[in-house]
Structure formats: structure tokens, C-alpha cells
């Protein structure tokens, strides 16, 4: 059984050749992105077995994505190709010093992945792992994708552990309906990752981790990401387990994109290894630090024995 399967849209990503506005940057370097495939690429690099289920166009960008993701050791045999729709792409600018603000321009409307549905996605392959990792981005891609998310998150016997990263992307929801859908989807998951900022933007829930937990009591594990401060994990079992908080690492940030995915990968890696909550959070922060200090979405996580030495709780 494969450890983790992730399903979602991946895109060829264009990283700016220099800082500045989208209007001014003259050249871009090709890389790969896609929140869900980022998670499995990092997990595969960290020694887990992983599969990505997605849909790309029958075009060169689709070839590039499939080849690059496979290059991380991820199983791509269930990725389907759409002869009629293109692979999505997106461009972004460098974060402004201080605020990190940057521009993102998606060219993904009508993409091959936006046509994913229960009829053209291999559901058995999606459900064949110990963990199925999904994100709220998919729910914003189309009505079909939203229906697919409801199918995959429905309770059923033998369902894999369902991991859900809320990944609220406000620009996608401008045309996609109500981001409260993300709350419904999160309620059906076993492990949920959500940023404090996302809970405020998408659901109007402010007041910190406890308030978010009160709005989302169902998942067995809820991880609230608090940006540079750290992250808090709430667990329902064993009963009355107090929330665990771990501060984030201080690093010189090169680009924040992909850091949330790396965090999820670190947390899931430690979950698969049966580590306690605080160590799972520490692995999340450590993997995120690697992504934060690289220009693209993806960075190699630290080797497992090194990560274990850095995150062990003994003497903490």
C-alpha cells in the first residue's frame, strides 16, 4: 500500500527572473507547482511511497509536469491526459521585502485538471493509500471538481486517512462560489491544515486557534498555522489531549510559495511514523524552512536522521 496519495491540479510555474511588478519582469524560469503534488514530491524525497493523481493536457507542459513529478519518485501512473484541454500554467512575482506581497497570474480556467470528475479520475487509485491528501484549491476549479471533492471526502468503509489543506486562494473563489464549502470539506477530513489568516478570510473566524477549533471540532487532528509564530495541533484522542504548540524556525525567507505544502508533508511524514504531536509539528516547521529558503515551490527536505536529531523532544 502506498503511503500517501494526493489529488489535485499541478501547473507549470514561471518564476520571475528578477524582482518587480508583473508588468515589468522581462523573463521567467520554468518550474513546477501544484499544492498537492508538492506535498507528495516532498514526501517521496523524504523516503515515503507516494502517488499523484491528476489530469494534464496532451501537451509539452503536461509531459514536463509528469516527468518532473515522477523524477521525485512519485507514482504518476494514474495521471490522465486530456486531448482537448491544456495544462494550466501560472506566473508569479518575487515577494516584496518586508511584506512578502507578490502577484500571481493563473492561466488555468478551462484546464485539463479543471475538468476532473468522478468519471475521468481513477478513484480506486486515489483511495489506495494509507493517506489521501486533498486541498481546497480543487474545490474552486469547477463544479465537477467540487463534486469530485465531495465524492472523495464522503464517509465510506475503508476510507484512507483523509488529509485536507484548506489552501484558500481568494482569487480562485471570486468566480467559484462560497469558500464556506471549504469548511464543509474540512469537517469531513481526519487531519486538517488551516492558516489563521485563511480561517479569517474564508470563514470570518477570528480569535486564534481555539476559536478555529470551536468552529471546526470534527477532525481528529486540526493543525492551525500561525505564520512566523508557529503552529498549534489539536487532537481529539486520547481524550482531553491538550493542544500542542511549536514555534516556527527563523529563516531568511526567499519565497513563501510551497512552504505550507512542505509543512503538511513534514507533519504527514511524522504522522506516518507515529511520532507525537509536537514532533510532528517540528517536522512540519523543518520541512517548511527548507521550502522557505528556496526560490521555487519545492526544496529537498533534510535527511531523516538529521531531521530526527533536530526535532527530538528529549531535553526540549
* Between 168 and 235, CB nearer to ligand KDG: 168
Binding of residue 33 to ligand KDG (CB under 6 A): yes
* Between 196 and 261, CB nearer to ligand KDG: 261
* Between 76 and 275, CB nearer to ligand KDG: 76
How far apart are CB 165 and ligand KDG at their closest, in Å? 8
C-alpha atoms less than 13 angstroms from C-alpha of 174 in its C-beta half-sphere: 5
How far apart are CB 291 and ligand KDG at their closest, in Å? 9
Binding of residue 260 to ligand KDG (CB under 6 A): yes
Choose which of 111, 142, 232, 257 interacts with ligand KDG (CB under 6 A).
257
* Between 17 and 170, CB nearer to ligand KDG: 170
Binding of residue 137 to ligand KDG (CB under 6 A): yes
Binding of residue 296 to ligand KDG (CB under 6 A): no
How far apart are CB 223 and ligand KDG at their closest, in Å? 15
Binding of residue 169 to ligand KDG (CB under 6 A): yes
Residues binding ligand KDG: what is the number (CB under 6 A)? 11
* Between 137 and 192, CB nearer to ligand KDG: 137
How far apart are CB 248 and ligand KDG at their closest, in Å? 17
Contact 289, 251 (CB under 8 A): yes
Choose which of 16, 86, 258, 302 interacts with ligand KDG (CB under 6 A).
258
Before 252, cis peptide (omega within 30)?
Answer: no
Grid coordinates of 137: 484549491
How far apart are CB 181 and ligand KDG at their closest, in Å? 16
User: What phi and psi, each to the nearest 5 degrees, are found at residue 117?
Assistant: -155, 170
Contact 137, 169 (CB under 8 A): yes
* Between 65 and 272, CB nearer to ligand KDG: 65
Binding of residue 198 to ligand KDG (CB under 6 A): no
261 noted as active-site residue: yes
Binding of residue 291 to ligand KDG (CB under 6 A): no
Q: Indicate which residue of 3, 75, 190, 261 is catalytic.
A: 261
* Cα–Cα nearest to 252, from 108, 98, 102: 98
Binding of residue 87 to ligand KDG (CB under 6 A): no
- Polymer length of the chain: 316
Residue 105 CA to residue 51 CA, distance in Å, equals 27
Contact 104, 13 (CB under 8 A): no
Binding of residue 261 to ligand KDG (CB under 6 A): yes
| Residue ranges in contact with ligand KDG by CB under 6 A | 33-35, 38, 137, 169, 257-258, 260-261, 297
Instruction: Name the residues annotated as catalytic.
Output: 261
Amino acid at each position: 500500500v502506498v503511503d500517501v496519495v494526493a489529488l489535485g491540479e499541478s501547473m507549470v510555474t514561471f518564476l520571475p527572473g528578477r524582482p518587480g511588478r508583473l508588468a515589468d519582469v522581462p523573463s521567467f524560469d520554468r518550474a513546477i507547482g501544484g499544492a498537492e503534488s508538492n506535498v507528495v514530491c516532498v514526501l517521496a524525497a523524504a523516503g515515503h511511497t507516494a502517488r499523484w493523481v491528476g489530469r494534464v493536457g496532451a501537451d509539452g507542459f503536461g509531459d514536463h509536469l509528469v516527468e518532473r513529478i515522477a523524477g521525485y519518485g512519485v507514482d504518476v501512473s494514474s495521471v490522465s491526459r486530456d486531448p482537448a484541454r491544456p495544462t494550466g500554467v501560472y506566473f508569479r512575482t518575487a515577494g516584496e521585502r518586508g511584506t512578502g506581497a507578490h502577484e500571481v497570474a493563473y492561466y488555468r480556467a478551462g484546464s485539463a485538471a479543471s475538468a476532473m470528475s468522478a468519471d475521468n479520475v481513477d478513484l480506486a487509485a486515489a483511495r489506495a493509500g494509507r493517506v489521501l491528501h486533498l486541498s481546497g484549491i480543487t474545490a474552486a476549479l469547477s463544479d465537477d471538481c467540487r463534486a469530485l471533492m465531495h465524492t472523495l471526502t464522503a464517509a465510506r468503509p475503508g476510507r484512507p486517512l483523509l488529509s485536507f489543506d484548506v489552501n484558500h486562494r481568494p482569487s480562485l473563489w471570486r468566480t467559484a462560489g462560497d469558500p464556506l464549502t471549504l469548511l464543509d470539506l474540512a469537517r469531513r477530513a481526519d487531519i486538517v491544515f488551516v492558516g489563521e489568516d485563511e480561517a479569517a478570510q474564508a470563514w470570518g473566524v477570528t480569535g486564534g486557534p481555539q476559536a478555529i477549533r470551536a468552529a471546526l471540532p470534527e477532525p481528529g487532528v486540526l493543525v492551525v498555522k500561525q505564520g512566523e509564530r508557529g503552529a498549534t495541533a489539536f487532537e481529539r484522542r486520547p481524550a482531553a489531549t491538550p493542544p500542542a504548540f511549536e514555534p516556527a524556525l527563523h529563516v531568511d525567507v526567499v519565497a513563501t510559495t510551497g512552504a505550507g505544502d512542505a509543512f503538511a508533508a513534514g507533519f504527514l511524514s511524522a504522522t506516518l511514523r507515529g511520532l507525537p504531536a509536537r514532533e510532528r509539528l517540528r517536522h512540519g516547521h523543518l520541512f517548511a524552512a527548507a521550502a522557505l529558503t528556496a526560490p521555487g515551490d519545492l526544496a529537498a527536505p533534510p535527511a531523516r536522521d538529521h531531521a530526527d536529531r533536530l526535532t527530538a523532544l528529549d531535553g526540549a
